[in-house]
Amino acid sequence: MRSAYDSFDDSHTDWLRLLLNRILYILLIAAILILMICWFLPLLKERQKQQLALQTLEQQLAREKVVNRREQKKLSWIQRDPDYLELLARDKLDLKKPEEKIFRVEPSPGVGK
């Protein structure tokens, strides 16, 4: 024979079982989220590092392009302009034409540092 308290215990245990199941599901979802974060966080950090390296290389490439354009201009002037070639050669060899005066200005120490 069942007493009045048996139905109370059944509903109470059902409620407790339902509560524990919900807590279990929440903990399971939290554990999965934590595992996903642990999985993807190093990948995100590596991607950040690679993007920083890429940005550095792109800046270096831009600088090298400027240097390349400057050197291409110099080469073009040397190939097409004999006066420029003569000026460059005389400057490198410290030569001068007769009756020519050359003034050299040396930078003072500490300038450009």
N-to-C CA span, the chain: 100
CB 111 within 8 A of CB 104: no
For residue 39, give Cα distances in angstroms to 6, 7, 8, 43. 49, 48, 46, 7
Look up the pTM and report it.
0.52
User: Residue 57 and residue 64: Cα distance in Å, rounded?
Assistant: 10
pLDDT digits (tens, 9 = 90+) for 34-77: 999 999 999 999 999 999 999 999 999 999 999 999 999 999 99
